[in-house]
A and B are shown apart, each in its own frame.
Chain A
Amino acid sequence: MTWVSAVVHGILLGGVYALLATGLALMFGVMRIINLAHGSLALIGAYMAFLFTEHVHVSTYLALVPVLPGALIVGYLLQRTMLERSLRAGQLVPLLTTFGLLIVIANLLQYFFSPDVHSLDEGNIGTASWQVSSSLTIPWFDVLTLGVAVVLLGGLQLVLRFTQLGRELRATAEDADTAELVGINARAVYARATAIAVATAALAGVFYGMRSSFDPNAGANQLLYAFEAVVIGGIGSLWGTLGGGIALGVAQAVGGQINPEYFALSGHVVFLAVLVARTAMQARGFRLTLRGVG
């Protein structure tokens, strides 16, 4: 029965990864930007929520009220000031900008908040759990996190499919040049995408902060797992990010069940296996169309 427990916890862990990965998927899907600072932005969300709850003694969830709109603005400005210019200079330059941002943010956080760990209070739901059986306990908070991830991804999917913003996002992601020619302000579209991405990062950061303690250097590993989730799920697919997160979470949990030291490694192995399998399947189709080309 412990295997079932591992799988279930893996699925729930997938929710955490998917929540963090959503913004990554959005920025990469729309702008081909690998945002190395995504984890740092999530951390800022956690720290801002911490600041808020320190001064205004309310539940952490209410901290989302100021934090999320703030994150939207931060994301919009980030794109208009830094990332837009970096993108114009070349595909690789945003890598440098976001890397610079990562370092600056991590160290400024350390300066203002000290290297000590903090954590956010998840309220009553934090300790509640569902005792399914003698060997399977499901914490309600993890279910909530997964639920939030699903709602977020679903909401974004709806926006993409049914709103004008969504159509513009999809069109610009596909062909920014032609999008401009049909009247879409590509730069404004990009800015909105980044705004949403940073807001989802802040949301993920707050939930991460409730789940575990954090310090200014936290999240390097989490960032990698989030990236893995995006790639496993297939770049460009929002639901794929959820699937990828769950696949990764389950792989890690099952591997961790075999031996705690295999936790991260199992995830990496599954990641590489999925990629190899996918490439092999594509290659079969590929070879049929491109005979004799070295």
Chain B
Amino acid sequence: MSTLLAVEKLDVRHGLLQAVRQVSFDVAEGETLALVGANGAGKTTLLRAIAGAHRPAGGRISFEGGDITSLAAHRRVKRGIALVPEGRRLFQNLTVEENLRVSSAARRSGSWTVDAVLEAFPLLRPLRHKRAASLSGGEQQATAIGRALMTNPRLLLLDEVSLGLAPVVVEGVYRSLAVLIQGGATIVLVEQDLARAMSVADRVVCMLEGRVVLEGPRGALTREQVTEAYFGLRRGATA
């Protein structure tokens, strides 16, 4: 499998804070990478830097072999990177359908259309013309994922899709994700829920205070190892 995304020695500042320190990792095509870590570990900043919302202070990001480190966010969408932001960040005053259609500005070719999204997330069908502000958390999450899918991305970045949602709802979201993964999508998934993360991922990267502290294929890591790395308890050796 070829490398779709390569992050090399990335440094990203968030205000005064160094949020991402010398982070490097690759994502192969068709792979699902889980990015785990406690709050403030730098996961969201990293994802936003990959999507283009944050300018890195140092390092390199390559996508499909080309350097995109200084590329504007909307151009990265055109190249095929789509981010589902933390907290959904839907356009509250637009309807579900408008939220979906507004992102087609990137106009990439592919099979995702409004109808396709509504088929993948049938709960949205009756909500098509409802304002995003009036949706429940789960409905908003579905819309946000759909909005990213509308750009027909090659790389899907998901930031904390389970945040603030009831377990039942999270279940539904992850079922849809499983379908996407089965379809061969390349996904980087930020997730605080370790169990969930390790259930869908091919590889796991654990971050602590901006650095990568543990990395490896899902099968090679025990939950214990990941938990230790997560909290910074360096009792065992890193994998």
- A contacts, CB < 8 Å to B: 164, 167-168, 170-171, 174-175, 177-186
**Chain A positions within 8 Å of B52 at CB level:** 180-181
Please report whether the interface of chain B is mostly helix, strand, loop or mixed according to DSSP.
helix
Tell whether, in the assembled complex, residue A183 and residue B103 are in contact, meaning their CB atoms are under 8 Å apart. Answer: yes
Report the separation of the CA atoms of residues A25 and B190 in the bound assembly, to the nearest whole angstrom: 40
Given contacts A175-B89, A178-B85, A181-B85, 11 further A-B contacts (CB under 8 A): A164-B104, A167-B101, A168-B102, A170-B94, A171-B102, A182-B103, A182-B105, A182-B151, A183-B78, A183-B151, A184-B103
Report the separation of the CA atoms of residues A181 and B99 in the bound assembly, to the nearest whole angstrom: 13
Report the separation of the CA atoms of residues A185 and B76 in the bound assembly, to the nearest whole angstrom: 11
Q: Does B106 contact A (CB under 8 A)?
A: yes
Tell whether, in the assembled complex, residue B93 and residue A174 are in contact, meaning their CB atoms are under 8 Å apart. Answer: yes
Tell whether, in the assembled complex, residue A164 and residue B101 are in contact, meaning their CB atoms are under 8 Å apart. Answer: yes
Report the separation of the CA atoms of residues A186 and B115 in the bound assembly, to the nearest whole angstrom: 27
Report the separation of the CA atoms of residues A87 and B183 in the bound assembly, to the nearest whole angstrom: 43
**Chain A positions within 8 Å of B211 at CB level:** none
Tell whether, in the assembled complex, residue B91 and residue A180 are in contact, meaning their CB atoms are under 8 Å apart. Answer: no
Within the complex, the shortest CB–CB distance from A191 to chain B, in Å, comes to: 14
Within the complex, the shortest CB–CB distance from A180 to chain B, in Å, comes to: 4
**Chain A positions within 8 Å of B116 at CB level:** none
Report the separation of the CA atoms of residues A217 and B211 in the bound assembly, to the nearest whole angstrom: 61
Interface size class of B (residues with CB under 8 A): 20 to 34
**Which residue from chain A places its CB closest to the CB of B92 in the assembled complex?**
A174
Can you list 29 A-B pairs, Cβ within 8 angstroms, ordered by A?
A164-B104, A164-B105, A167-B94, A167-B101, A167-B102, A170-B93, A170-B98, A171-B94, A171-B99, A171-B102, A174-B91, A174-B93, A177-B53, A178-B89, A179-B91, A180-B72, A180-B74, A181-B52, A181-B73, A181-B83, A181-B89, A182-B82, A182-B102, A183-B104, A183-B105, A184-B74, A185-B72, A185-B74, A186-B74
Within the complex, the shortest CB–CB distance from A159 to chain B, in Å, comes to: 14
Tell whether, in the assembled complex, residue A178 and residue B106 are in contact, meaning their CB atoms are under 8 Å apart. Answer: no
Tell whether, in the assembled complex, residue B77 and residue A181 are in contact, meaning their CB atoms are under 8 Å apart. Answer: yes
Within the complex, the shortest CB–CB distance from B175 to chain A, in Å, comes to: 24
Contact digits for B44-72, partner A, Cβ 8 Å, 1 yes 0 no: 00000001110000000000000000001
Report the separation of the CA atoms of residues A171 and B105 in the bound assembly, to the nearest whole angstrom: 12
Q: Does B43 contact A (CB under 8 A)?
A: no
Tell whether, in the assembled complex, residue A180 and residue B102 are in contact, meaning their CB atoms are under 8 Å apart. Answer: no
Tell whether, in the assembled complex, residue B101 and residue A183 are in contact, meaning their CB atoms are under 8 Å apart. Answer: no
> Of residues A168, A174, A178, A182, which shows the largest number of chain B Cβ atoms within 10 Å of its Cβ?
A182
**Chain B positions within 8 Å of A181 at CB level:** 51-53, 73-74, 77, 83, 85, 89
**Chain B positions within 8 Å of A175 at CB level:** 89, 91
**Chain A positions within 8 Å of B82 at CB level:** 182
Report the separation of the CA atoms of residues A181 and B72 in the bound assembly, to the nearest whole angstrom: 9
Tell whether, in the assembled complex, residue A171 and residue B91 are in contact, meaning their CB atoms are under 8 Å apart. Answer: yes
**Chain B positions within 8 Å of A164 at CB level:** 101-102, 104-105
**Chain B positions within 8 Å of A167 at CB level:** 94, 98, 101-102
Q: Does B13 contact A (CB under 8 A)?
A: no
> Of residues B52, B103, B105, which shows the largest number of chain A Cβ atoms within 10 Å of its Cβ?
B105
Q: Does B147 contact A (CB under 8 A)?
A: yes
**Chain A positions within 8 Å of B91 at CB level:** 170-171, 174-175, 178-179
Q: Does B142 contact A (CB under 8 A)?
A: no
Whether A180 contacts B73 in the complex (CB less than 8 A), given A170-B91, A170-B94, comes out as yes
**Chain B positions within 8 Å of A170 at CB level:** 91, 93-94, 98
Within the complex, the shortest CB–CB distance from A207 to chain B, in Å, comes to: 31
Q: Which of B73, B92, B105, B147 touches A168 (beta carbons < 8 Å)? A: B105
Within the complex, the shortest CB–CB distance from B143 to chain A, in Å, comes to: 12
**Chain A positions within 8 Å of B148 at CB level:** 182
Report the separation of the CA atoms of residues A182 and B51 in the bound assembly, to the nearest whole angstrom: 10
**CB interface residues, B 149-167, toward A, < 8 Å:** 151
> Of residues B85, B91, B106, B151, which shows the largest number of chain A Cβ atoms within 10 Å of its Cβ?
B91
Report the separation of the CA atoms of residues A170 and B99 in the bound assembly, to the nearest whole angstrom: 10
**Chain A positions within 8 Å of B94 at CB level:** 167, 170-171, 174
**Chain A positions within 8 Å of B72 at CB level:** 180, 185
